[in-house]
Structure 1
């Protein structure tokens, strides 16, 4: 695996620095997808966090690398480019959900390097103590809130027909974290009611998980950050009937218009899930653009209501050449 990663990193570096790579990326735009920036790189490295989290050192390393190889621009500079041309490819950062650590840990580094970003808010969570199920369930099962809380949640999981794998506690740290990652993925098929019930079994945390509206206005006032909707309740839109879909889209749109001065004309699908019906509803709610989770480079010819992004994990942030390898592969499709 180490040799394979070395080959990818080397190939990615060669691609970015070759005439072929520069020509393929000329006039294109790269949209990155992040979620959280934790206070600790060590915490972000475990597999069950690595997928959605980066640490501050890795994030800073990523920003330095991006500034070296790209023009770091706002999302709208990619979606609605002006007349100013550049020889360098454009790249932009997007953050999903609206985690509180976006303000505490990510923003100081964005400000230090003057890198703009877009944050897509699950608006029901903003300014409330409502919790994201993935974080609450994952950390409780990991033991972050104590053994008693963990055992109570395990009992509740049995009641909804999702027992924790028997051998979970016998694994070493790395394999246990990886097993937890797979287990959390399996819970995505549970109903929202069951996920809420499981989340309610988890201990309350000292701070809300999400941003509050004061933080949103502070970040927006910096001129570096703009906000868009990522659902209201983070419900998977493809699973909603037409009435509930309309309510979900309207509630998130109205919250952004009430809470922000310049909300983005871009929707961001929870979990990336969308279909023709969802895209039609999003367009009917006055969104000319929407972000999915499919991988690819934006050249202005993509479906504007299902735009591609490249996900950034802790591993990628620590080794950005892996990102350039993915750009190489994306440029060929």
Structure 2
């Protein structure tokens, strides 16, 4: 595995520093997808956190690397017609959900390196006591809040027919974390009602998780950050009927209009899930663009504006950004 990673990192470095790579990326835009920036890197390295979390040292390393190889620009500088004409490839940072640590841990580093970012808010959570199920359930099962809450949640899962795998008690931290990651992924098939029930069974110590509206306004006033909607309740849009879909879109749009001065004309699909019906509804709510989770670079017109590609950033790729350049190479191929 180490040799494979080394080959990817070397190939990524060669790609960004070769005439072929620079030619392929000329006039292109790269949109990065992040979620959380935790307070320390060791916590972010665990498998059940790695994909959604980066640590502050890894994030700072990523920002310095991006500044070296790209023009770091606001998202709309990539999406607006004619905006991609540049000697260097452009990159835009996006954050999904609206985690509080975006303000506490990410924003000071964005300021330090003067890198703009767009944050897409699940608006029902902003300034409220609602919690994201993945974080609440995952950290409770990890034991972050103590053994008694963990035991209570395990009992609730058993009643739902979702017993916790034995590997989630493995004494090896990495194996235990990896088993928890796979278990959390399996819970995505539960109904929103069941996930809410499990989240309610988690302790209140996990609050608050999301930004509040004062933090949103402070970040927006800096000129470095703009905001867009990532759903209202973070419901998976493809699972909603037309009426509930329109209600979800309207509620998130109105919340941004009241909470921000310049909300983005860009929608960000929860979990990346979309289809032709969802894309049509999003466009009918006056969104010119929408972000998915498909991988690829943006060439300005070749892609469906309602399903734009992004590259996800994990702790692993933030710490080793040449792995990211290898993924960009893969996504840039004709």
Query: Which bracket does the TM-score occupy, shorter chain normalised?
Result: over 0.9
What does 1:165-176 correspond to in 2, within 5 Å? Answer: 165-176=165-176
Deviation at 1:169, TM superposition (A): 1.0
Residues of 2 paired with 1:157 and 1:231: CA distance? 27
Residues of 1 paired with 2:11 and 2:130: CA distance? 44
Secondary structure of the corresponding residue to residue 162 of structure 2: coil
1:106 aligns to 2:132 (yes or no)? no
Deviation at 1:167, TM superposition (A): 3.6
Secondary structure of the corresponding residue to residue 92 of structure 1: strand
Residues of 1 paired with 2:100 and 2:53: CA distance? 13
Q: Which runs of 4 or more aligned residues in structure 1 lie more than 4 Å from their structure 2 counterparts after TM superposition?
A: 81-84
Residues 2 and 84 of structure 1, relative CA distance in 2, 3 Å threshold: closer
What does 1:123-202 correspond to in 2, within 5 Å? Answer: 123-202=123-202
1:213 aligns to 2:218 (yes or no)? no
Deviation at 1:170, TM superposition (A): 2.8
Residues of 1 paired with 2:165 and 2:127: CA distance? 35
- Corresponding residue number in structure 2 for 1:46: 46
1:316 aligns to 2:308 (yes or no)? no
Residues of 2 paired with 1:226 and 1:244: CA distance? 27
Secondary structure of the corresponding residue to residue 119 of structure 1: strand
Residues of 2 paired with 1:168 and 1:58: CA distance? 27
Structure 2, unaligned runs of 5 or more: none
Residues 153 and 111 of structure 1, relative CA distance in 2, 3 Å threshold: same
What does 1:49-88 correspond to in 2, within 5 Å? Answer: 49-82=49-82, 85-88=85-88
Residues of 2 paired with 1:305 and 1:37: CA distance? 27
Deviation at 1:31, TM superposition (A): 0.2
Secondary structure of the corresponding residue to residue 139 of structure 2: helix
Q: Give the length in aligned residue pairs.
A: 333
Residues 113 and 230 of structure 1, relative CA distance in 2, 3 Å threshold: same
Deviation at 1:103, TM superposition (A): 0.1
Any conservation in 1 of the 2:120–2:227 contact (CA below 8 Å)? yes
Structure 1, unaligned runs of 5 or more: none
Residues of 1 paired with 2:29 and 2:170: CA distance? 46
Any conservation in 1 of the 2:77–2:83 contact (CA below 8 Å)? no
Deviation at 1:83, TM superposition (A): 6.0
Deviation at 1:97, TM superposition (A): 0.1
